[in-house]
Structure 1
């Protein structure tokens, strides 16, 4: 990136970069004085025919900057270049290349499509191609503008929709599917306003994360590169240089555990599995407090529960910039045992009778089978557990191309409550979808579960038996909310999932009672009152994943009985 304070300085600057199969070392085009004076800016895309000698044989404006002086400056500059020609079987040959000259403020940026990765090309609802550097592979893309020669073209807006939610948005001017000029981009965790060239952030821009961190400055190929000011919501502010996304001269350290409790292998999985993993992402503020926890991966709810026990009793040092604490996102993988890929908590089999890649079933060979990404708890019906009723369930679950369980068919069940619990568990899981030719595909899985006190599938551990034993001995729960030092504080409380295609027409309420044990885990959930029995098992499955800071009485951890309404709102379904 070049700061141009005069034409002489611009002309004197030399740059070197890769251009498809060509390498060039030539002067950057001059920013016209008249354009600087009148504050003209824009992007000129040139189409260049490089001769076998490396000379420019033909050159033309493929996309205008809408300013004649800028287009002419780009043409005059690139005409002087000499390329290393493309080689075909050891012989130099002619080849067309595309060059973009970005005039912005007092800066000139030269870029080519070299940096564009083919895997970031997607198609909209009409099959029109576009480039999205934020790639939402499993989302459906919608474009409200024109389509020319198979590519989106002109001004408009692209949105990527996944599971009914907008996960990405691009708004600006596109040429051959690529975003150019001043544009707006939004993801689930950030917003960007600034310059794009060849579909990538290039030039000046402002990137703001949802938690308040703000970067305002230079970008190169979507990396923070050049001079910038970065600030945080607690007032910390740093100005300096960035090189390929990394600060130069400013010491930055990410959040880290200063004290981490020992991670224990779940007792309920001992003898069943040798390994497992859970990955969390969270926001760590400048005080080291953790919030906005998201489970990225969880091989089994028992692993997940052990991880939250560690999080609840550990200390985290916040991110530091030049000795000052700042809020930052924190992603941490927790691994259990040998972490061998040969030991998965659930074995699943592809059902060849209903394997599909679209709406119509057909026999195909998938490139990758669907797998569990986040495994939800399987709730053992409380009354059946108390009566020591055991049983098994077999099910077939149809996974759509986004990884969502589209249909759950219980093929065998020894009790209707076991069937209901299994259906709710599978509906609450997150899957990685099957892949066919690099896109999500339909696939159906066959899976079975066992309900018994010794089963790996259910989540009842020694704390359950301790709570039940104490309750039986004293004829009452140990404590109630009024006895606690303070109200229970949730560390992790994901929202309840709705069945595929289910819509709430009016507010539905399920009152769930459960025990928070002295570690903070939810035990023995059951329904006190409900307006819709169909949602009961989903509510209990969701609540089983919640985790709290250990409840205390006079500073000592205790078990406490609580009841919480789970409300399904018609406003957001």
Structure 2
């Protein structure tokens, strides 16, 4: 089922409202942006020759030229801007085409650039050369041109994930990509999303997008683009969205004040119970603050302790658009009953990807990552959150190690806590890891499921 996908570009993804799922951001300068650390300079220049009458007629004019200089310092493009006299255009174009420059440097390497030149239309005659003196510098000023940003031109719609259709969530994905001079997106990555199931559709859509490339004057350049994609589900009221996600007031009724769910991370299946085929459930109550954050999480009931721990860790990632009353954002107490339905051992014709991986693990059919065609590459990562229960204690630092399956599509399945300095760290790590997305692992050209272990370290947030 296709769904509309829109895009808008942001100065910073932190300005997006509502807040999207926390994700690890790339550090440092964006790859591909034109960051010049040495500007181009003029190495050799000869002006046009003018006849006496023409020299007098043009002598009071200034010429403004836009010039493209390649990485060797050669001129590859010249344009006279707003000529004061049309007789200036051809002579100055031909003259500048023969000039030589010292190329601009980016990270120590010569790069093509575009600059604006301003020079008198007629150069003064140089003084007679004297032994031991340098000739005067050419009367040319060189101005750098700020680069533009890539702009989307063709943005075919993406596919709203079928698995989320019944939940009525609006989809959001914040992307970064390198837009080449051909206008196509490369090295795309998702740096924020309100559900991991939107990551791969967003990347697939970006592969089909066409941009107007960034430009520095007349020169097309590769540059990084950043923007927000929104996947629009069928229109739904807040009441319908809450009901579709099993969210009620603490008494089980629809809440009188209704926040809008934005980020609802799925709880991880407790590994041992899933392998045995045990179903389970847990009931959590929590407060949606007047800022849309989840606070005051309590597990009220659970069929077994691991289900409660899984739900508590998932709820912590929740984000909402706050409820409104009389024009003010108000806190709301909500209740969530989460159920865990797993396929029984020995079941056949399993189509759900999570259940398929579970069956494969029961059969011992998933091995390690040795022999893959390429190293495992994460496309989207969610930051583990420090457990709130430990904030009320002695705020320890901690560690956890989690084993998981990266399935043949790149999604993380069936995380298992291998070790943790505190059980709460284990659930926090497993929950965050369950939302990670990798480039699909390949072996001998075929997609495969692989089993890996990933360590995590926790430091308490500052007071």
TM-score range (shorter-chain normalised) is 0.5 to 0.7
**Paired positions, count:** 318
2:354 corresponds to 1:490: no
Q: In the alignment, what sits opposite 1:332?
A: 229
In 2, the alpha carbon distance for the partners of 1:209 and 1:437 equals 44
Q: 1:281 to 1:327 in 2, by over 3 A?
A: same
2:408 corresponds to 1:518: yes
Q: In the alignment, what sits opposite 2:192?
A: 294
Q: 1:490 to 1:452 in 2, by over 3 A?
A: same
Where in structure 2 are the equivalents of 1:74-93 lying within 5 Å?
A: none
Give 1:493 shift.
0.2
Q: 1:399 aligns with which of 263, 269, 288?
A: 288
Give 1:487 shift.
1.6
Q: 1:284 to 1:525 in 2, by over 3 A?
A: same
Q: Deviations over 1:527-559 (max 9, x none)?
A: 111111122111111111000110111222111
2:438 corresponds to 1:540: no
2:211 corresponds to 1:281: no
Secondary structure, aligned partner of 2:295? strand
Where in structure 2 are the equivalents of 1:353-392 lying within 5 Å?
A: 369-392=258-281
Q: In the alignment, what sits opposite 2:447?
A: 557
2:164 corresponds to 1:254: no
User: Does the CA-based 8 Å contact 2:18-2:321 persist in structure 1?
Assistant: no
Secondary structure, aligned partner of 2:336? strand
User: Does the CA-based 8 Å contact 1:284-1:330 persist in structure 2?
Assistant: no
Q: In the alignment, what sits opposite 1:429?
A: 318
Q: 1:211 to 1:414 in 2, by over 3 A?
A: farther
Where in structure 2 are the equivalents of 1:105-116 lying within 5 Å?
A: none
User: Does the CA-based 8 Å contact 2:323-2:329 persist in structure 1?
Assistant: yes
User: Does the CA-based 8 Å contact 1:413-1:419 persist in structure 2?
Assistant: yes
Q: Deviations over 1:339-363 (max 9, x none)?
A: 444752414233489xxxxxxxxxx
Between Structure 1 and Structure 2, the one with more strand by share is 1
Secondary structure, aligned partner of 2:170? strand
In 1, the alpha carbon distance for the partners of 2:200 and 2:283 equals 30
User: Does the CA-based 8 Å contact 2:275-2:358 persist in structure 1?
Assistant: no
In 2, the alpha carbon distance for the partners of 1:274 and 1:430 equals 15
Give 1:286 shift.
2.8
Q: In the alignment, what sits opposite 2:353?
A: 463
Give 1:137 shift.
10
Q: In the alignment, what sits opposite 2:387?
A: 499
Q: 1:137 to 1:483 in 2, by over 3 A?
A: closer
In 1, the alpha carbon distance for the partners of 2:416 and 2:201 equals 23
Give 1:435 shift.
3.2
In 1, the alpha carbon distance for the partners of 2:316 and 2:451 equals 27
Where in structure 2 are the equivalents of 1:124-203 lying within 5 Å?
A: none
In 2, the alpha carbon distance for the partners of 1:543 and 1:282 equals 19
Give 1:400 shift.
2.4
Secondary structure, aligned partner of 1:280? strand
Q: 1:256 to 1:516 in 2, by over 3 A?
A: farther
Give 1:278 shift.
1.1
TM-score of the superposed pair, with normalisation by structure 1:
0.48
Q: Deviations over 1:460-516 (max 9, x none)?
A: 97223333444444x3524x2221122211110010112347548553111000000
Structure 2 residue runs of 5 or longer lacking an equivalent are: 1-13, 20-24, 36-105, 117-146, 344-349
2:330 corresponds to 1:441: yes
In 1, the alpha carbon distance for the partners of 2:199 and 2:206 equals 11
User: Does the CA-based 8 Å contact 2:283-2:337 persist in structure 1?
Assistant: yes
> RMSD of the alignment, in Å?
4.3
In 2, the alpha carbon distance for the partners of 1:237 and 1:495 equals 41
In 1, the alpha carbon distance for the partners of 2:155 and 2:291 equals 38
In 1, the alpha carbon distance for the partners of 2:313 and 2:442 equals 32
TM-score of the superposed pair, with normalisation by structure 2:
0.58
User: Does the CA-based 8 Å contact 1:319-1:328 persist in structure 2?
Assistant: no
In 1, the alpha carbon distance for the partners of 2:213 and 2:15 equals 30
Q: In the alignment, what sits opposite 2:203?
A: 311
Give 1:280 shift.
0.9
Secondary structure, aligned partner of 2:213? strand
Q: Deviations over 1:138-184 (max 9, x none)?
A: 99xxxxxxxxxxxxxxxxxxxxxxxxxxxxxxxxxxxxxxxxxxxxx
In 1, the alpha carbon distance for the partners of 2:31 and 2:328 equals 29
Secondary structure, aligned partner of 1:540? helix
Q: In the alignment, what sits opposite 1:453?
A: 342
- Structure number with greater CO (CA < 8 Å, separation at least 6) is 2
Q: 1:135 to 1:469 in 2, by over 3 A?
A: closer
In 2, the alpha carbon distance for the partners of 1:292 and 1:468 equals 27
Q: 1:265 aligns with which of 159, 162, 167?
A: 162
Q: In the alignment, what sits opposite 2:306?
A: 417
User: Does the CA-based 8 Å contact 1:488-1:549 persist in structure 2?
Assistant: yes
Give 1:275 shift.
4.2
User: Does the CA-based 8 Å contact 1:428-1:538 persist in structure 2?
Assistant: no
Secondary structure, aligned partner of 2:307? helix
